[in-house]
Amino acid sequence: MLSVIMATLGIIAIASFWILGILLFIFWIKMIIDCAKREFANPNDKVIWIIVICLLQILGALIYWFVIKQKDKDQILVSRENKKDGVEARNKD
């Protein structure tokens, strides 16, 4: 009975690692595609980021996510707040 439970847990662990690996691979590919499509201020930045993502793989994709993608989200939030403040200022007048 114990061997059946251990075998089942082993299968679940292996399946979990496969699923996690596939999800991380998809994330890595998405970051490469995002980097290739993105317009950088300096054209060399694109090449450097693609090299970083490819050489460091998941770690490079995570670094790219936190450095570039999160900055985009912050800029979107700031622009939304600025628009909201502008609308509120016009309503007060």
Q: Where are the domains of the chain?
A: 2-92
Angle, vertex CA 39, rays to CA 29 and CA 59, nearest 5 = 35
Q: In whole angstroms, give the CA distance from residue 20 to residue 25.
A: 9
pTM: 0.71
- 3-class secondary structure per residue, 2-61: HHHHHHHHHHHHHHHHHHHHHHHHHHHHHHHHHHHHCCCCCHHHHHHHHHHHHHHCHHHH
pLDDT value of residue 89: 52
pLDDT value of residue 3: 85
Are 61 and 31 in contact by the 8 Å Cβ rule? The answer is yes
User: Along the 93 residues of the chain, how does pLDDT read in single tens digits?
Assistant: 778 888 898 899 999 999 999 999 999 999 999 999 998 888 899 999 999 999 999 999 999 999 987 777 666 666 666 666 665 555 555
